Structure 1
Amino acid sequence: MLSRRAALMIGAGLAAAPMLVQPVLAEGGLDTSNSAPSDLSGLTRIKRELVAPPEVHEHEQVALGGPRIVEFEMRIQEKEIQIADDAWLQAMTFNGSVPGPMMVVHEGDYVELTLKNPPTNMMQHNIDFHAATGGLGGGALTLINPGEMTKLRFKATRAGVFTYHCAPGGPMIPWHVTSGMSGTIMVLPRNGLRDQHGEPVAYDRIFYIGENDFYIPRDQNGAFKRYPDHGEAYPDMLEVMNKLIPSHVVFNGRVGSLTGDNALKAKVGERVLMIHNQANRDTRPHLIGGHGDLVWEQGKFNNPPAVDLETWFIRGGSSGAALYQFRQPGLYAYVNHNLIEAVNLGATAHVKVEGEWNNDLMEQLVAPTPYDADLEIRTALP
């Protein structure tokens, strides 16, 4: 149950800020009682078990037969997470991970999500699918209090990668999103991905990278503050958020989450589909030492992909996809190419690639060695 102090703080924030459209339009949600239910009894049902990023649950790249009803279940977890060696966040999460897990279906499938808000949580939550049509992306039909659950079904009518996020109304929306409540759903074309010529293309691996901007307050000594619960954190966090200057910009929930022992792995010759989501701010992914062979920068697979991009642009509130075939072994850095955010604030991942080096693509002709700089100067004089 929300503490009286937390309720007062959050209520004060609500009263002070302009409201967006409220996700629930009547008691109990939207009135759909006059709508005839869809008869989907003839469709096959399949249940997918969600997995934590950067992994993605098992799926087919080309649809097997006609449309299906694809069932998912997610629990909302409010919990403290460590986002850097010296910083903690009172996070709000889908299924306990930041970002929330990726869901994969095919165009024409029906997504059926069971969403649960355990009684141990403090907040109302919902889910807004950018891939869905109607009712604020499902937000109008999924707002639930602690101890409640709901079930939403929508038809995946457009192919691509799309953001989903929590959107409970007013100033709660940016707070919940910047506290970790966002993720991606991928709607594949039924016949799979196509290159710029319309020819089929497949991937050997998939990397799912969620980029988050966090706003952690500091104390009078400059140290990051730590809070016992969300209600205590809200006023200070709101003040930092409204300055639009993040304290951290990270991949998959914390600084270093995809580096060192947690680095992503691939092999020379493998085609890797890199999915990048940013629910709040613009970003610009770049693979140092590689390229985007095929890039769906706007994330929509029915549009022809761009070819051979060095850096691509992901709009805030969207997801994008890039396919790259690794050609050389070694350690690659995948970064937000605002290098201040990559190096100083945390938006860096590593990819360790195994295989044989190809000197035709790159070769060191002279190893680092001293040279006579004075001689170079003397011979350059007239």
Structure 2
Amino acid sequence: MADDAKAAPQNAGPAADLSKLEHVQVELVAPPFVHAHEQRATGQPRVVQFRMVIQEKTLVIDGEGTQIHAMTFNGSVPGPLMVVHQDDYLELTLVNPASNTLTHNIDFHASTGALGGGALTLIQPGEEVTLRFKATRPGVFVYHCAPGGAMIPWHVVSGMNGAIMVLPRDGLKDRDGKPLTYDKVVYIGEQDYYVPRDKDGKYKRYATPIESYGDTLQLMKGLVPSHIVFNGKVGALTGENALKASVGETLLIVHSQANRDTRPHLIGGHGDHVWATGKFNNPPEQDLETWFIPGGAAGAALYTFRQPGLYTYLNHNLIEAVLLGAAAHIQVEGQWDHDLMSQVQPPTAIK
């Protein structure tokens, strides 16, 4: 267990001399958007440097005004998607401002050793730390806070998780080894929240994060979320917040769930090429209707839009999508193809 997060590795030798490698500073952007990156690496491995600030903040997570004391990486739920290439070094400076109240760290599922970096990044309010690891395995991976004990699931379900994408140096490939490319990449983080109710059934509010801890922990033990949402809140990616695309565009959807299983499905489309468990050394499956991402993992799916209109991308546990909030919209512009679908007769009264 990560209760040992405070224990630093023993007998550690000197760090590798990476002074001759190119060092690149990248500014992170909030999901569903992703910072600019090459799909295929054009040079030698680099040291890719990121800076991320932990923010403890109040979030409204639905249209009813339900509030939580969220814990976030860089202010968003999920935290930003970081993109590097295999054999690059990812270097992260993690900042826990003095205005925060809790201890935090980061566990990268993409890394090797020291509890995913959690043992080397535990910081108190008013501290910062820099971690570097070599990205040896291509794929999409979860990262999350893991400060130890019951604090681990509490921090994760309070929003403190995100994903990293490690691209193969020569880019994505289909199952026959042919190159695959995308026009856009979007990042969807699926989040389960556990908001306690009062004796009248109304969602409770608390003055501080720690004040909510006991009630939230009891609710978490029941394994029944109050909300399951995409990108932090109900409606974050629907209606006016819908994602945009055009007929002929290829979208790479990166989808993570740090705590629960999920079943992504694109209504009106498919997964042309899908890495359901997110690891690019494995050949992608093709033409999927729904795919399965286990809790604590991230997956990736490529789809080229062939028809205009409104698409719904959701968790196909329809209770979780429709009643709890795990859904997104993609509005696609373009010309309708009647060969793919046509309404032969409009609705008419039965004679």
TM-score range, shorter chain: over 0.9
Q: List, as ranges, runs of 4+ consecutive aligned residues in structure 1 with deviation greater than 2 Å.
A: 29-32
Equivalent residue in structure 1 for 2:61, among 62, 80, 83: 83
Counterpart position of 1:230: 209
Tell me, yes or no, if the aligned pair for 1:126 and 1:144 is still in contact at 8 Å: yes
Measure how far apart 1:302 and its partner are: 1.1
Counterpart position of 2:173: 194
Counterpart position of 2:4: 22
Does 1:320 find its partner at 2:302?
no
Q: Map residues 161-240 of structure 1 onto 2, 5 A cutoff.
A: 161-240=140-219
Counterpart position of 2:285: 306
Counterpart position of 1:152: 131
Deviations 1:289-329 (A, max 9, x none): 00000000110011100000000000000000000000000
Equivalent residue in structure 1 for 2:227, among 225, 230, 248: 248
Tell me, yes or no, if the aligned pair for 2:138 and 2:280 is still in contact at 8 Å: yes
Query: How many angstroms apart in 1 are the aligned matches of 2:303 and 2:171?
Result: 16
Measure how far apart 1:20 and its partner are: 4.5
Query: How many angstroms apart in 2 are the aligned matches of 1:65 and 1:238?
Result: 48
Measure how far apart 1:228 and its partner are: 1.4
Does 1:115 find its partner at 2:94?
yes
Tell me, yes or no, if the aligned pair for 1:203 and 1:273 is still in contact at 8 Å: yes
Query: How many angstroms apart in 2 are the aligned matches of 1:295 and 1:337?
Result: 16
Measure how far apart 1:84 and its partner are: 0.6
Counterpart position of 1:62: 40
One-letter code aligned to 2:312: A
Counterpart position of 2:27: 49
* TM-score normalised by L of structure 2: 0.98
Does 1:340 find its partner at 2:319?
yes
Query: How many angstroms apart in 1 are the aligned matches of 2:140 and 2:222?
Result: 30
Query: How many angstroms apart in 2 are the aligned matches of 1:275 and 1:347?
Result: 15
Tell me, yes or no, if the aligned pair for 1:277 and 1:319 is still in contact at 8 Å: yes
One-letter code aligned to 2:190: E
Query: How many angstroms apart in 1 are the aligned matches of 2:208 and 2:189?
Result: 24
Does 1:271 find its partner at 2:268?
no
Query: How many angstroms apart in 1 are the aligned matches of 2:225 and 2:319?
Result: 12
* TM-score normalised by L of structure 1: 0.91
Deviations 1:323-363 (A, max 9, x none): 00000000000010000000000001000000000000000
Query: How many angstroms apart in 1 are the aligned matches of 2:329 and 2:40?
Result: 29
Query: How many angstroms apart in 1 are the aligned matches of 2:221 and 2:74?
Result: 27
Query: How many angstroms apart in 2 are the aligned matches of 1:297 and 1:344?
Result: 24
**Helix, strand or coil at the partner of 1:174:** helix
Query: How many angstroms apart in 2 are the aligned matches of 1:111 and 1:44?
Result: 12
Query: How many angstroms apart in 1 are the aligned matches of 2:130 and 2:288?
Result: 40
One-letter code aligned to 1:303: N
Tell me, yes or no, if the aligned pair for 2:2 and 2:115 is still in contact at 8 Å: no
Query: How many angstroms apart in 2 are the aligned matches of 1:293 and 1:93?
Result: 32
The farther-off stretch of 155-164 and 220-229 is 220-229
Structure number, greater radius of gyration: 1
Measure how far apart 1:371 and its partner are: 1.3
Deviations 1:224-245 (A, max 9, x none): 1111110111111111111000
Tell me, yes or no, if the aligned pair for 1:24 and 1:30 is still in contact at 8 Å: no
Unaligned 5+ segments in structure 2 are none
